[in-house]
């Protein structure tokens, strides 16, 4: 799998800020003035939050709530890789105009794998909006009462500014994003099904994925989506990687997991998070997987590339 190179980062126009709050009342106390400041500056405002947070903010804003574009984070952010395209659409819709947003991708109850992808997402925001042509101010609330300390520490690494505290001494910038993207996922279980494939094996690979899905008793539409996503990624491995790859599949307590690995290298950590051009090498398959699967993990380095698809049971 291959993709384009990473551009140098300069966050002059993108202001990425975390805010630690304690309880719903404190969340409103932090977010409401941030939103109203946007009104005063005639900046379009979008808030991507959980439904209960949206309701609390609507009550606080009163009639002014109609001036905010509210989006359900539980829907958009279930797979964190879908969040950047949502912000991209918002920024592009107001091209040439300063905008601001509120987004809370991390909430209590997220699984460990979801938290890993949220951490990567927050770092990649600094890459995705490095070249934004006008000011984009994004505030990311974190529930300090309910989230583990390690998650709050991750926020300090991925946000240049912590509200009420100033510059974050832990902010890792581009290096932090790249280190995560080039990291290693936990090893598959020893009893995972393993199939090595080349170009001539792609039709048979669909049958293997279909059988794994049927064993999991997945609904037919989910089964077809997963078969399509796995086929697209395997095709990427054949066409844009080293010409072959490995499919692994296994069951966890709450998910069916499929993994496609090859010896290719993706140099763009935003792969699958930006709308892929029809001829873009490697990007189309990962983009499609992100739209079809509950959660997608991508890690790539000189060791090779791994794309892991999670489907909740």
Q: Which one is predicted more confidently, 6 or 188?
A: 188
Tell the residue number behind the tokens 């949220």, with chain if given: 118
Residue 278 pLDDT greater than 60, yes or no: no
On whether the CB atoms of residues 76 and 83 are closer than 8 A, the answer is: yes
Residue 4 pLDDT greater than 70, yes or no: no
pLDDT at 3 (0 to 100): 44
Compute CA distances 78 → 83, 97, 162, 308, whole Å. Answer: 9, 29, 25, 16
Of 181, 212, 236, the one marking the end of a domain is 181
One domain for residues 228 and 290:
yes
207 burial class (0-12, 13-18, 19+ CB within 10 angstroms)? exposed
Examine residue 4 and state whether it is found in any structural domain, yes or no: no
Its domain, for residue 136, covers 14-181
One domain for residues 23 and 138:
yes
Examine residue 255 and state whether it is found in any structural domain, yes or no: yes
Confidence class for position 164, pLDDT limits 50, 70, 90: confident
CA–CA separation, 61 and 59 (whole Å): 6
CATH code for position 144: 3.40.50.300
pLDDT at 277 (0 to 100): 53
- For the chain, give the mean pLDDT: 92
Residue 282 pLDDT greater than 50, yes or no: yes
Domains in the chain: how many in total?
A: 2
Give percent above pLDDT 90 in the chain: 85
CA–chain centroid gap for 211, Å, is: 28
pLDDT at 77 (0 to 100): 97
One domain for residues 119 and 204:
no
Residue 109 pLDDT greater than 70, yes or no: yes
One domain for residues 200 and 174:
no
CA–chain centroid gap for 218, Å, is: 24
One domain for residues 159 and 259:
no
One domain for residues 32 and 161:
yes
pLDDT at 283 (0 to 100): 72
CA–CA separation, 83 and 180 (whole Å): 18
Mean pLDDT of 153-165: 95
What is this structure's pTM?
0.92
Examine residue 267 and state whether it is found in any structural domain, yes or no: yes
Examine residue 42 and state whether it is found in any structural domain, yes or no: yes
Of 154, 181, 208, the one marking the end of a domain is 181
pLDDT at 239 (0 to 100): 87
Mean pLDDT of 4-21: 69
Vertex 2: Cα angle to 121 and 204 (nearest 5) = 100
One domain for residues 143 and 214:
no
Give percent above pLDDT 70 in the chain: 94
CA–CA separation, 227 and 308 (whole Å): 13
One domain for residues 109 and 256:
no
């Amino acid at each position: 799998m291959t993709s384009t190179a990473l551009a140098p980062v300069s966050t002059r126009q993108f202001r990425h800020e975390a805010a630690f709050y304690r309880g719903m009342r404190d969340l409103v106390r932090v977010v409401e003035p941030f939103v109203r400041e946007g009104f005063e500056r005639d900046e379009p405002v979008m808030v991507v939050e959980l439904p209960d947070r949206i309701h609390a903010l609507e009550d606080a804003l009163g009639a002014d709530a109609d001036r905010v574009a509210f989006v359900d984070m539980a829907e958009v952010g279930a797979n964190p890789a879908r969040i950047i395209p949502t912000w991209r659409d918002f920024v592009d819709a107001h091209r040439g105009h300063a905008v601001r947003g509120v987004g809370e991708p991390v909430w209590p109850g997220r699984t460990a794998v979801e938290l890993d992808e949220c951490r990567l997402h927050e770092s990649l925001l600094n890459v995705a909006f490095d070249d934004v042509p006008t000011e984009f101010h994004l505030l990311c609330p974190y529930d300090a009462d309910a989230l583990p300390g390690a998650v709050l520490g991750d926020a300090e690494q991925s946000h240049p500014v912590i509200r009420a505290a100033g510059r974050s001494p832990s902010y890792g910038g581009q290096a932090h994003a790249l280190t995560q993207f080039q990291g290693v996922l936990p090893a598959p279980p020893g009893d995972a099904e393993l199939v090595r494939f080349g170009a001539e094996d792609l039709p048979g690979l669909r049958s293997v994925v279909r059988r794994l899905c049927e064993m999991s008793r997945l609904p037919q539409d989910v089964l077809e989506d997963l078969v399509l996503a796995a086929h697209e990624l395997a095709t990427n491995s054949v066409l844009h990687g080293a010409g072959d790859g490995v499919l692994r599949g296994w069951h966890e307590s709450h998910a069916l997991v499929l993994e496609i690995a090859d010896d290719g290298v993706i140099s763009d950590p935003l792969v699958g998070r930006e709308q892929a051009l029809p001829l873009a090498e490697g990007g189309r398959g990962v983009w499609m997987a992100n739209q079809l699967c509950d959660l997608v993990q991508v890690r790539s380095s000189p060791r090779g590339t791994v794309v892991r698809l999670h489907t909740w049971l």
